[in-house]
Chains A and B, each alone.
Chain A
């Protein structure tokens, strides 16, 4: 290294110039183009994995949008987001089946649950679930919104008033995450569960792709909810106030915006999204206590990939991470067990090359 730098002449200078330019291209428009190119290749060469990736990405996108909103407005990394999703999934499970596990792992069930509604478990269209699950999902989402607001009152707001740093918030939310997972283990034990047992119906799509019909529902739900969040943020007074608060909380305050109320609404929306995302996750995979925590890394990768604080970016980031994960394991050299490590690689590459995210402007 030292010898090269010391040597006079044009070649090393030129090399360094090329190196600098290559770096600029990658940190500039290069990286988004690389992802676009890989995406197009995957769409053609690995169409089935690409489609599954969109489903995985839908779940990630719903979680990541909530995560990015919370980050944008409260300026802290909400490490309890993954476990919140799983807790919501279990709350929906409880509402649907009334099942909990006692201390001696003997299953207890409530005398009446949503499943007892007439026709609640009769499958809708070609899906595996009936309207009971939809009601359970709504209950879980609302409950999660309430849990988030309550946690803010009890934990985060006192920390905010004390002027705590971001590390304190991160660790506090990590504590909340562990508490949530422990609650799941206490009430529902560690084994896997499903909303609807048995084989799930599939649907044939064009180009010889067969997917589980429920996955179409997951994708549609993600699109509809993301669009609603977009409309909220860009068309309503509350949404604009949320963006203003994310931009500059002090100026929002002096403009007469009640930032405390904006924060409450942020938690409500984040909680609703986490609730639905959790149920989608359990529908796509299964109910398993540690799944939420495992999902945290892909969630953060999605959020950062899209530019932290940007909801549109979080949606795109979720899709990219989901597709990359699914496509990567079809390449052959990676065992499916390492799926989540793909998110980790994406996270590191982004943080090194384009910390503002794929779509974020350079600051």
Chain B
């Protein structure tokens, strides 16, 4: 880990620059149950933005709605300069946004290599070069490309899931609790990897339950509660905020 990457808050990309992802006032939920009651957020190019909030705040729901896995009842999602609201995941992926679900995010009976190939499924031009680039970024995975993903440890799976999502060279990456239920050492490795990926120019939207972890790596963060935006600010600002503390204590 370089000293530069350990303090990303020092030099945040300009927040008024062009947006990689712009979510405005989206309302979504499961069937009749509405979970998000008008949530907005903005992810600048090259930024890491975290969404934090207590259990049941709608963080994962927000991810799914942004990615098109849930029907958005109103509001809009814009990816760079395209309106992607209500598009199928397949179309969204083609337009340059990839998603890493929280759990079950690899294909266990497929090999590491095949998992990566599936990540590049929509590529028509083959994946030979990109797979080498991704392997260079994840040397651990390159060691045994024929190993079945089901045999990997939790941390390695998370790495593979991240690698799979990078196969399309996306502009925007959505990560749903990438460090949940991992050993502390693994959490560090994953976070370092997320920073590295970010430095290659990928804008990252990350959902975290663990506020401290998320606020330490992001440029900015949104606090979500009860399906509404509650707070917005840079990592250090929110870490110091009393209200964040209160939210997590359930007050």
Given contacts A241-B121, A244-B118, contact A254 B110 (CB under 8 A): no
Counting CB contacts under 8 A, is B195 at the interface? no
In the bound complex, CA of A244 to CA of B119 (Å): 10
On whether the beta carbons of B109 and A256 are closer than 8 Å, the reply is no
Residue from the list B67, B101, B109, B114 in contact with A251, Cβ < 8 A: B101
Given contacts A251-B101, A256-B122, contact A243 B94 (CB under 8 A): no
B93 to A: closest C-beta gap in Å: 3
A310 to B: closest C-beta gap in Å: 9
On whether the beta carbons of B90 and A256 are closer than 8 Å, the reply is yes
- Residues of B within 8 Å of A252, CB to CB, are 107, 118
A:251-270 near B, CB below 8 Å: 251-258
B138 to A: closest C-beta gap in Å: 17
Counting CB contacts under 8 A, is B104 at the interface? yes
B:71-111 near A, CB below 8 Å: 89-90, 93-94, 98-99, 101, 104-110
Counting CB contacts under 8 A, is B42 at the interface? no
Q: Give 1 or 0 for each of B150-167: 1 = CB within 8 Å of chain A CB.
A: 000000000000001000
A:227-253 near B, CB below 8 Å: 237, 240-241, 243-244, 246-248, 250-253
- Residues of B within 8 Å of A250, CB to CB, are 69, 101, 104
In the bound complex, CA of A250 to CA of B107 (Å): 11
Residue from the list A237, A241, A255, A258 in contact with B164, Cβ < 8 A: A255
Residue from the list A240, A253, A256, A258 in contact with B114, Cβ < 8 A: A240
On whether the beta carbons of A241 and B99 are closer than 8 Å, the reply is no
Interface size on A, residues (CB 8 A): 17
Counting CB contacts under 8 A, is B117 at the interface? yes
In the bound complex, CA of A237 to CA of B40 (Å): 38
A128 to B: closest C-beta gap in Å: 42
Counting CB contacts under 8 A, is B168 at the interface? yes
A68 to B: closest C-beta gap in Å: 13
- Residues of A within 8 Å of B108, CB to CB, are 247-248
- Residues of A within 8 Å of B121, CB to CB, are 237, 241, 255-257
On whether the beta carbons of B89 and A244 are closer than 8 Å, the reply is no
Given contacts A237-B117, A257-B118, contact A247 B109 (CB under 8 A): yes
Given contacts A240-B110, A243-B110, A248-B104, contact A254 B89 (CB under 8 A): yes
- Residues of B within 8 Å of A237, CB to CB, are 117, 121
A124 to B: closest C-beta gap in Å: 40
Complex: chain A residue closest to B123, CB-CB? A256
- Residues of A within 8 Å of B117, CB to CB, are 237, 240
- Residues of B within 8 Å of A254, CB to CB, are 67, 69, 89, 93, 98-99, 101
A222 to B: closest C-beta gap in Å: 24
On whether the beta carbons of A251 and B122 are closer than 8 Å, the reply is no
In the bound complex, CA of A241 to CA of B104 (Å): 16
On whether the beta carbons of B107 and A248 are closer than 8 Å, the reply is yes
- Residues of B within 8 Å of A248, CB to CB, are 104, 107-108
B:115-133 near A, CB below 8 Å: 117-119, 121-122
Most buried by B among A244, A252, A254, A258: A254
In the bound complex, CA of A169 to CA of B51 (Å): 40
B:19-66 near A, CB below 8 Å: none
Complex: chain A residue closest to B122, CB-CB? A256
In the bound complex, CA of A251 to CA of B117 (Å): 13
In the bound complex, CA of A256 to CA of B92 (Å): 8
In the bound complex, CA of A246 to CA of B94 (Å): 22
- Residues of A within 8 Å of B164, CB to CB, are 255
In the bound complex, CA of A265 to CA of B36 (Å): 37
Given contacts A237-B121, A240-B118, A241-B118, contact A253 B110 (CB under 8 A): no
Given contacts A241-B118, A252-B118, contact A258 B107 (CB under 8 A): no
- Residues of B within 8 Å of A243, CB to CB, are 107, 109-110, 114
Complex: chain B residue closest to A253, CB-CB? B89
In the bound complex, CA of A258 to CA of B101 (Å): 18
- Residues of B within 8 Å of A256, CB to CB, are 89-90, 93-94, 121-122, 168
25 residue pairs A–B, Cβ–Cβ below 8 Å? A240-B110, A240-B118, A241-B118, A243-B107, A243-B109, A243-B110, A243-B114, A247-B108, A247-B110, A250-B101, A250-B104, A251-B104, A251-B105, A251-B106, A252-B107, A252-B118, A253-B90, A254-B69, A254-B99, A255-B119, A256-B90, A256-B93, A256-B121, A256-B168, A257-B90
Known: A252-B118, A257-B121; 14 extra A-B contacts, CB below 8 A, are: A237-B121, A241-B121, A243-B107, A246-B109, A247-B109, A247-B110, A251-B104, A251-B105, A251-B106, A253-B69, A254-B98, A255-B119, A256-B90, A257-B118
Name B residues whose Cβ lies closer than 8 Å to a Cβ of A: 67, 69, 89-90, 93-94, 98-99, 101, 104-110, 114, 117-119, 121-122, 164, 168
Query: Which 3 A/B pairs are nearest by Cβ-Cβ distance?
Result: A256-B93, A256-B122, A247-B107
